[in-house]
Amino acid sequence: MRNEKGSLIRPVPLPASASRPVVTPLSPSVVYASETPDQLDAQYEGHLHGYTYSREGHPNADVVAARLDAMEGQSGGTVTGSGMAAVTAALMGLLSAGDHVIGGNQLYGRSLRLMKEDLPRLGITTSLADPGDVAAIKAAITPQTKMILIEVVSNPTLRVADVKGIADLAKAHGILLAVDNTFTTPRSFRPYDYGADIVIHSLTKLLAGHSDVMLGYVSARDPDLSQKMRVFAVTTGLSASPFDCWLCERGMLSFDLRYDRAQDTAIRLADHLATLKGVKRVIYPGRADHPDAARARELLGAQTCNMVSFELDGGRAAANAFTRAADGLSFAPTLGDVGTTLSHPASSSHRALSVDERAALGLSEGFFRVSVGLEDPDALMAVFTDAVAATRDLA
Ligand code: PLP
């Protein structure tokens, strides 16, 4: 194989163009060629910006990181290959054997697993406590506590964490506060404005928004911590693929519009579900009957979230009838897609818990979490009306 000059395979020179592309070019190159060893030295020493190897960084990841940094009001964030890679970079990149970390007791399932199984195996001790109760978090602090990890809105019970109270507590004890902002997104909540030290995202969800990308993001207020997490992510291969970053950026361009539309429909859906016979209860932080309504208003304002949970009368039989009748809605364990998705914690995210443990969280067999998408709101309400009606004889 020869290039068009008749010599070796690479490089193929890019065609000259006085104009530039409007869309970020996709850069799938794994390696980047430097001109000389002196130039490479300058790159490694940070005197000259240049990419070397895509696990270490590439333009598409940097473009996504810069957009997220701007949304969160930070700089120096790292894009990772998944949301869990971002959680891992924060916990394992910053903590050492002998340290202790407190996690919210309703963290995302894999984050909980990391806390319960993997960190202890590496000598990092962990405790779980209710992030809605500052006294419970305080009681879990030990002299070794280095970090508290919380989510703003819990999954799937949609309780709102006392982020302000926990941030004050963490600051008073010199403990880092890491906030997973996946559910709320910077459109609803900006953790750095409330005292967080570290912000984590699964970009897989609302920010990329089309269920065709798996990515995460992590940044820290302290540039040294950001750098530590980046180096850990690069060393352990938590890096993001250029194509996923390219798709993610494309999704992010419409994020604000998608989010606003989805959460407007979520409010309507919550109110609509509450009128339907066969629905035992509805959970939505923007409703006046939510136990954390005042805190949701204070922290999230009018932009609450696009997630609605509800409980059907009639247990598993009703749940089966509901998903069968929910025409056009995906029964799939994710959130933030352009289409509305349903998740059933008892058979998916919380299946490893005992019936009693689930009951303690209020997760019966009739419990569903809805990630509201961009469908026509009237059409969506009609689907829910029909699907709930299909469960009535089973209650
Ligand atoms: N954090 C939260 C709150 C999540 O809901 C999820 C996934 O659902 C994750 C982290 C993990 O993200 P990913 O699936 O991109 O690894």
DSSP 98-160: T-EEEEETT--HHHHHIIIIIHHHTT-EEEEE-TT-HHHHHHH--TTEEEEEEESB-TTT--B
pLDDT at 7 over 80: no
Position of tokens 């957009």?
Answer: 67
Q: Is the distance from CB of 394 to CB of 321 less than 8 angstroms?
A: yes
- State the CATH architecture for 57-252: 3-Layer(aba) Sandwich (3.40)
Return the half-sphere exposure (C-beta side, CA atoms, 13 A cut-off) of residue 292.
23
Residues 6+ apart with CB under 8 A from 243: 26, 28, 60
Confirm or reject: Cβ of 349 under 6 Å from ligand 1: no
Ligand 1 atom nearest to CA at 151 = 3
Confidence of residue 83 (pLDDT cuts 50, 70, 90): very high
Return the domain boundaries, the chain: 57-252, 255-392
pLDDT per residue as tens digits for the range 129-144: 999 999 999 999 999 9
Write out the catalytic residue numbers.
Answer: 55, 108, 180, 205
| Locus of tokens 């473009």 | 63
242 lines ligand 1 (CB under 6 A): no
Kindly give, in sequence order, each residue whose CB lies less than 8 Å from that of residue 238, ignoring residues fewer than 6 positions away. Answer: 80, 81, 82, 85, 86, 88, 89, 232
pLDDT tens per residue across span 137-169: 999 999 999 999 999 999 999 999 999 999 999
Alpha-carbon span 375 to 388, nearest angstrom: 18
DSSP 3-state of 247: helix
Q: Which DSSP category does 239 fall into?
A: B
Tens of pLDDT, residue by residue over 352-372, are 888 998 999 899 999 999 999
Are 338 and 210 contacting, i.e. CB atoms less than 8 angstroms apart? yes
Residue nearest to atom 4 of ligand 1 (CA): 108
The correct answer on CATH 3.20.20.10 for the domain covering 255-392 is no
Q: What is the mean pLDDT of the chain?
A: 95
358 and 350 Cβ atoms separated by less than 8 Å: yes
CA dist., res. 363 & res. 229, Å (int): 35
Q: Is the pLDDT of residue 2 over 70?
A: no
250-259 mean pLDDT: 98
**CB distance 204 to ligand 1 below 6 Å:** yes
| pLDDT reported for residue 6 | 65
Q: Is the pTM of this model over 0.75?
A: yes
More confident position, 235 or 5: 235
374: Cα within 13 Å, side-chain hemisphere: 13
Q: Is the pLDDT of residue 390 over 80?
A: yes
| Three-state SS at 312 | strand
Cβ-proximal residues to 11 (8 Å cutoff; 6+ apart), any chain = 3, 33
Q: What is residue 69's predicted lDDT score, i.e. its pLDDT?
A: 98
What is the rounded average pLDDT of the residues 221-227? 98
Ligand 1 neighbourhood includes 83 CB (under 6 angstroms): yes
pLDDT at 1 over 70: no
Residues 6+ apart with CB under 8 A from 6: none
In this structure, are residues 340 and 268 in contact, taking their beta carbons and an 8 Å threshold? no
**Site to substitute for ligand 1 among 153, 205, 239, 309, most atoms within 8 A of C-beta:** 205
